C-alpha cells in the first residue's frame, strides 16, 4: 500500500487533533507544523481539504486553530485517506487489460488485497491511533 505524502501528513495532523480532543481547545497550525516538521503552507492546504470533508473545523482569532469536527472514535483512516486522495479503489484495475486465466488470477488477488486494506482502514479510528500514540515506546538501541 502506498500513501501520498499529502495523505500521510493529513493523518498526522488529524491524529494530533485526536490526541488533544479532550482539551476542547483548538490546535494551531503552527503547533502541528512544528511538531511534525510539515511546511505550514502545505499543511494549510491539507487542513482546508479536511475541513471541506467535514472532518475538522477551524476557529479564527488569537485562540483559534483546528479541532476535529466529530469525536475521534467516529473518524476512520479510510475517511481521512478518501478526503485527501479520493475514493479507495473497490477493485484492481490492471494496467494492460488481458483476458488470460493468469491475468484474471492475479487481478483477483489484487482485488482481494484492496478489499482487505479497505476493511482494515475502515476499522481503525483516530481514537485507536491516539491510544497507540500514548503507549510508551520501547527502548531503541542504535548500533
Tens digit of each residue's pLDDT (9 = 90 or more) over 21-37: 999 999 999 999 999 99
Please give the domain boundaries of the chain with CATH numbers for all domains: 5-86+125-134 (1.10.10.10)
Task: Write the secondary structure of 70-90 as one string of H (helix), E (strand) and C (coil).
Answer: CCHHHCEHHHHHHHHHCCCCC
- Give exposure, 58-81, as e/b (b: 16+ Cβ within 10 Å): beeeeeebbbbbeebeebbbbbbb
Average pLDDT, the chain: 90
pTM of the full predicted structure?
Answer: 0.85
Amino acid at each position: 500500500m502506498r500513501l501520498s505524502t499529502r495523505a500521510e501528513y493529513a493523518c498526522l495532523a488529524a491524529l494530533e487533533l485526536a490526541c488533544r480532543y479532550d482539551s476542547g481547545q483548538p490546535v494551531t497550525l503552527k503547533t502541528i507544523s512544528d511538531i511534525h516538521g510539515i511546511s505550514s503552507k502545505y499543511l494549510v492546504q491539507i487542513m482546508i481539504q479536511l475541513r471541506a470533508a467535514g472532518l475538522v473545523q477551524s476557529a479564527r482569532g488569537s485562540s483559534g486553530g483546528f479541532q476535529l469536527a466529530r469525536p475521534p472514535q467516529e473518524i476512520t483512516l479510510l475517511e481521512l485517506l478518501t478526503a485527501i486522495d479520493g475514493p479507495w479503489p473497490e477493485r484492481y484495475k490492471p494496467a494492460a487489460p488481458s483476458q488470460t486465466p493468469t491475468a484474471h488470477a492475479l487481478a483477483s488477488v489484487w482485488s482481494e488485497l484492496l478489499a482487505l486494506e479497505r476493511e482494515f482502514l475502515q476499522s481503525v479510528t483516530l481514537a485507536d491511533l491516539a491510544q497507540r500514540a500514548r503507549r510508551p515506546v520501547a527502548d531503541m538501541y542504535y548500533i
